[in-house]
Structure 1
Amino acid sequence: MSKIDYRNQTTIVTGASSGLGAEFARQLAARGSNLVLVARRAGRLESLADELTRAHGVTVTVIARDLGQPDAGRSLRAELESRGIHATGLVNNAGFGTHNAFGDEDPDRLQDMIALNVSALVDLSRAYIEPLTSAGTGVLINVASLLGFQPTPYLSAYGATKAFVLSFTESLWEETRGTGLRVLAISPGAMQTEFFDAAGSQSADYGAKRATPQDVVRIALKTLDRPSGPPSVITNGRALAVASRFLPRRQVVRFMGSTQRRAMSHA
């Protein structure tokens, strides 16, 4: 089996109202996949659904939902299957981060972030791992981050959630080998998306050019097309992740901390 044929498949994309999620939807639709778009902003989802239906003739279902609520994955699957929609692919893209000293973080905001970045992703993956595996042709893409490769002061909780996503997804890659399901964690560096505006992190690019969502998604789908592809891929800013493997841990943390302080002072 080589390049994935997405025709006659249905892929769920979370966080699909903008940025990386919307671009996953566009490129998957261009490849012929039917879609389920999930996010809180119904208006944006409806506009994107109309665009993709007109451009590619695919079926697009819109679900306006806060995935940070308990049992997000199980309740979504139940709702979709009650409509006769059986997904063969899942892109766990929904998530957010905050850029602050940990002692200054809002506790409720932290809990919401962990619920969305970790709990919802795990619940969605668990809800769909069996149907995706049995489909034999499906995909599971979890969006991690370059910041998941090393501690990141002032983005401490966010970076830790992405380290979890990376480790979790690579484990699933091994568990599902030979089933036909292709699993991939993608780790973007700085990107030209709304995420960086929401996080308040305008300058922490670590010397790398910001990638476009188009480039990141193109790399992700191209990686999945490889019959024996890797469990994860860094889409941009790879030098930072490589350096963190070889430099002393103390030096890595100090560098990340000083970089983040500079970013916060210029925000």
Structure 2
Amino acid sequence: MSAGQLLAEYRRARRMSQLDLGLQANVSTRHVSFVETGRASPSRDMLMRLADVLDLPHRETNMLLTAGGFTPAYSDADLSSPEMKTIRDALMVMLRNQEPFPATVVDGSWNILMGNRVHSALLDAIVPEQKRQGRLNVLELLFDPQAFRPLVTNWEMLASWMLRRLRRQLTAFPDESMRRLLSRLLAMDPPANWQQPNEDGIEGPMITFDMAIGGQRLSLFSTLSRFGTALDVGAQELLVESYFPVDDATRRFFHGFAKSNGIECA
């Protein structure tokens, strides 16, 4: 796909007209049209300016530049690489500070990259060993009948909400790996009416993750944190998901769970 075709796709995904894009980038509508149709070859600076106006993530900006024949603007280092040590150290501090409650680090496709000790112990207790081989995906674990699905008491509501969220992400940022993830989830017997929002049964200000484990009813909500100043593709996409107890029973359970697994918390 050419730079112009990509630009048009990103612009339409953000529901911007060529006029809107041109005005905000201080470029004529005619020039935007010429770039999109291939009648004009944009400079690197022009593509960077248009990407900034469109608020493209680093990955999409790199793709736009590469399609235009230019080198990427942002690095894309693996989290395990030496240059990412400072970030790994920061993530580990955030994960450990969340104990005795679970916390995990996921990439842009919801693959689990890191987890704190409580999260790891929870996976060991719930997910069969053969399922824990290789990289795990948060959403696939939620949909898997051999993982969290049978334990989540509000599964239909939670799974439907996550599918709609994933669909919105794809609309805003078309991405092949996310498209494949959505296809896999839709092949895992999703809720029949997942496309229809229904929050009638929700109590409180947050969507919760409700489970029943060994006769104990647990209720958690989560927050998502990301690096706001990242200049690396992977670092920008990292999400830290931290879980918090909704009630005292859930709080007591995780304090006891951590202790029973030999996890000492500060």
If the length of structure 1 is used for normalisation, what is the TM-score?
A: 0.25
* Structure with larger Rg: 2
If the length of structure 2 is used for normalisation, what is the TM-score?
A: 0.25
